[in-house]
Amino acid sequence: MKKTFALLLTLAMLFALCACGSKQSAPGSASAEEWTRVGSFDNADGDFLSISFSDTEGYEGWAVTFMHGDELHGWIIQQEGDKLHGNLVAEGEEGEFIVTISEEGEDGLLLEAEGGESYHFTPMDVPEFSITMQINTEGLGEIAYAPEGEALEFETEFPVQSAVQNLEGPATYVLAAKPEDGWKFVKWTKDGEDFSTEEQITVDVAESVEYIAVFESAE
């Protein structure tokens, strides 16, 4: 779960760079050909490191995300000689987290924090997803979902109206729908076609598909 969270945060950071309206002064020159060890890396302690090249105007350099326990750092740093070096604290935020990243072994990386610890990383196995299951709602209601055999619970603090599950292969899921006050559940549809009038269903997912829980006003 932590790796998935970190991957999402990495993507969020890159999207934020692309959407950012204010520009910093352009850092030193950087080229995607100068550094070859990119992608996602982890270690035996569950730490996570992601490196990718950014050519966003004003933010050219290496987008690095480092997650250690509950601590997350990420920003753009530059290549200095045969290493990456810089501050992984975003501009405008307090403090510094200066790191140096160098190649280690055939395909690993060494991250050294200034005045702190050293972390050894190897490439992380990132699954290739072949099936996408979308679960959405029409009208006012919420959904819950879980692989067959796991606990199925509705979120109480942040009710779920839509979700996407990326699967490595065929799987069986249980889906459930619950209407909001003043609404009633009508049916599930599958790829736009009527599928079931039961609030809780078990589905075999063997290819990309969209299920929609349809609700209508009870008044």
Q: What is the pLDDT of residues 13-34, one digit of tens each?
A: 444 444 343 333 334 444 555 7
pLDDT value of residue 31: 52
CATH topology match: 2-123 vs 131-217: no
* Average confidence score pLDDT of the chain: 85
Q: Strand locations in the chain, DSSP E?
A: 39-42, 48-54, 61-68, 71-80, 83-87, 98-104, 108-113, 118-123, 131-138, 141-147, 163-167, 171-179, 183-190, 193-196, 200-205, 209-217
pLDDT value of residue 90: 82
> Could you tell me the pTM of the whole model?
0.52
Q: Among 3.30.1450, 1.20.120, 2.40.128, 2.120.10, name the CATH number for the domain at 2-123.
A: 2.40.128
Residue 63 has pLDDT above 70, yes or no: yes
Q: Report the C-alpha gap between 84 and 58 in whole angstroms.
A: 18
CATH architecture under which domain 131-217 falls: Sandwich (2.60)
- 131 near 205, Cβ under 8 Å? yes
Q: What percent of the chain has pLDDT over 90?
A: 64
pLDDT value of residue 32: 52
Domains of the chain, by residue range, sit at 2-123, 131-217
